Amino acid sequence: MRALVVEDDPDVGPDLARALTAAGFTVDLAKDGEDAWFKGSVEDYTAVVLDLGLPRLDGLSVLRRWRADGRAFPVLILSARGDWTEKVEGIEAGADDYLAKPFEMGELVARFRGLVRRSAGRLSPVIKAGQLSLDTRGMSATLNGAPVRLSPLEFRLLDCLAHHPGRAVSAGELAEHLYGLSATGDANAIEALIVRLRRKLGAGVIETHRGFGYCLAGVDG
């Protein structure tokens, strides 16, 4: 899954990116409002962390532009000010959650995961696809009840497919979600990951839809 962190603080931004990367997200970082607005307008993010106090274009203006353009990804707002009127303004502008600074990183990651689950119509952090279970909180997998050892890239690929039930995801889209804006991955790299996963999980777990992409078989919901 792919996240955008919009934060101009030179310490907080990288800390957020590291925490979300450790939680299984591929993270892009924007340090001002104009860069954030552009990235959010042209890239397919699973969810966004958005600071309000940004240079060049404030966070609320960025959010309003995204929503006016039909960008529907969930947004978690950060602000150094905890005033309730600002919270209301943020929610009315289209935010899905609000966290005041200073905050605990564990709470932010938990809230961010919650946004992703709710946007996908899920209440549990465990996703089932036939006999395969993915624990998105623990970044672990079991097949027929037995644990399966997966690399972080392998897990993120399965997670991305699981969050698009019933839809074939192209190799290009998978590469963007796995590698972000600095993507070095291509269709051959994605195919290699698919081959490795089929060896571990069985040939029928990941379906190939020729000309369209890949789909995880039997995802609940």
DSSP states along 32-44:
SHHHHHHHHHHS-
Beta bridge partners of 187: none
In this predicted model, what pLDDT tens digit does every residue of 5-64 receive, in sequence order? 999 999 999 999 999 999 989 999 999 999 999 999 999 899 999 999 999 999 999 999
Cβ–Cβ < 8 Å for 188, 181: no
Helix (H) or strand (E) holding 79: strand 75-79
Q: Which domains does the chain have, with CATH numbers?
A: 2-119 (3.40.50.2300), 126-216 (1.10.10.10)
Question: Where does 45-186 have alpha helices with state H?
Answer: 59-68, 84-93, 105-119, 152-162, 171-179
Distance CA 18, CA 42 (A): 23
* Among candidate residues 31, 3, 34, 35, the one with its CA nearest the CA of residue 18: 3
Over residues 89-122, the pLDDT tens digits come to 888 889 999 998 889 999 999 999 988 888 877 7
Q: Is the pTM of this model over 0.75?
A: no
Largest separation between any pair of C-alpha atoms in the chain: 54
Cβ proximity of 76 and 115 under 8 Å: yes
CB atoms within 10 A of CB 209: 12
